[in-house]
Structure 1
Amino acid sequence: MIGKRAYLDLEGDIPNKKILDSGKKMGRTQSEYNEVTHFNIKRKNKMKYISVPTNQEAMARLDLDQCIMGDLIEFTLNKVDYAALWSTGVIDEINEKLNVSIDDYEDERITGIEKLTEAKRIVESKKALNKSNDIIIDNLLLQINSAIENNTGVFFFF
């Protein structure tokens, strides 16, 4: 490849030239080139995950982004579930009490038996106050209980 323009267009070509209405070819300006090669593809309905490794080895693989089938117990949240989870206030309280930052575009974890036990206490107390979101709270509680049982952690991929 000659030159410094190495990005491809949607057809897989290096779009150095454009075709005018008259059929003639003409070089592109840098801004025109950037426009046809730099894509901001938004993920539709991006899902959020609350994951629990099934053992210490699975947790190590998760840190390296090398999980294999059976490594994770995952709870997937769509937009509605995610909004319902936030509306309970449980995430805000976990963030405050455990000094973590579970939030949009953040990956966060709760590990260690003390923090997991405190997270469980927080979720159980919120469950008593939020009857309308029982399924969401129950699933979060299941994840925390699994992490305690497996001596691993709860990983939030939001």
Structure 2
Amino acid sequence: MKTRIITVPIDKEAQYELDYDRAEPHQLIEIMIDQSEFKELDSAGVFDRINEIADAMIDDYEDDGIVEKEKLQKVLASDVFDIPVTTNKLKELKSLFIEALQRGTGVFFYF
């Protein structure tokens, strides 16, 4: 079963290290999404909505990140976190967007 990771580097140095696959676990804030959670979020249109808002390419076959402050703000200001789902991962995902904005980094999706 494939586990997917969504991560926020704690600072710009950690983001640089992440770009080169050298980031240490203590440099990242991460959530794991299992197959059933991914399926629920994907079926509800969460990733499609984020892609639309942030001009991203988050899907089951692509790794992508959202690093521009304006795009992070747009996603946070949108209705994406109000989409009805049973998993608590949407709430955790929102907290990652808040962390990225506060830390001046980004949200990276490794699916």
The match for 1:47 is: 3
**Equivalent of residue 146 in structure 1, options 75, 82, 99:** 99
**Pairing 1:137–2:106 present:** no
Count of residue pairs the alignment pairs up: 111
CA distance in 2: counterparts of 1:53 and 1:150, whole angstroms: 8
| Superposition deviation, residue 134 in structure 1 | 5.4
1:99-152 superposed Cα distances (whole Å, 9 cap, x missing partner)? 111011211000121010011123xx133341x335121011011011011110
Kindly report the root-mean-square deviation, in angstroms, between the aligned alpha carbons of the 2 structures: 1.3
Any unmatched runs of 5+ in structure 2? none
Larger radius of gyration: 1
CA distance in 2: counterparts of 1:53 and 1:127, whole angstroms: 21
| Superposition deviation, residue 68 in structure 1 | 1.6
**Pairing 1:127–2:78 present:** no
The match for 1:85 is: 41
1:36-78 superposed Cα distances (whole Å, 9 cap, x missing partner)? xxxxxxxxx1210100000000000000000123111001000
Secondary structure at the aligned position of 2:17 is classed as: helix
Q: Do the aligned residues in 1 keep the contact of 2:81 with 2:94 (CA within 8 Å)?
A: no
Q: Do the aligned residues in 1 keep the contact of 2:10 with 2:28 (CA within 8 Å)?
A: yes
Secondary structure at the aligned position of 1:142 is classed as: helix
Q: Do the aligned residues in 1 keep the contact of 2:49 with 2:80 (CA within 8 Å)?
A: no
Q: Do the aligned residues in 1 keep the contact of 2:54 with 2:72 (CA within 8 Å)?
A: no
The match for 1:23 is: none
**Pairing 1:99–2:99 present:** no
Q: Do the aligned residues in 2 keep the contact of 1:49 with 1:75 (CA within 8 Å)?
A: yes
Q: Which has more helix, going by share of residues? A: 2
Secondary structure at the aligned position of 1:133 is classed as: coil
Q: Do the aligned residues in 2 keep the contact of 1:85 with 1:133 (CA within 8 Å)?
A: no
Q: Do the aligned residues in 2 keep the contact of 1:88 with 1:133 (CA within 8 Å)?
A: no
**Pairing 1:112–2:81 present:** no
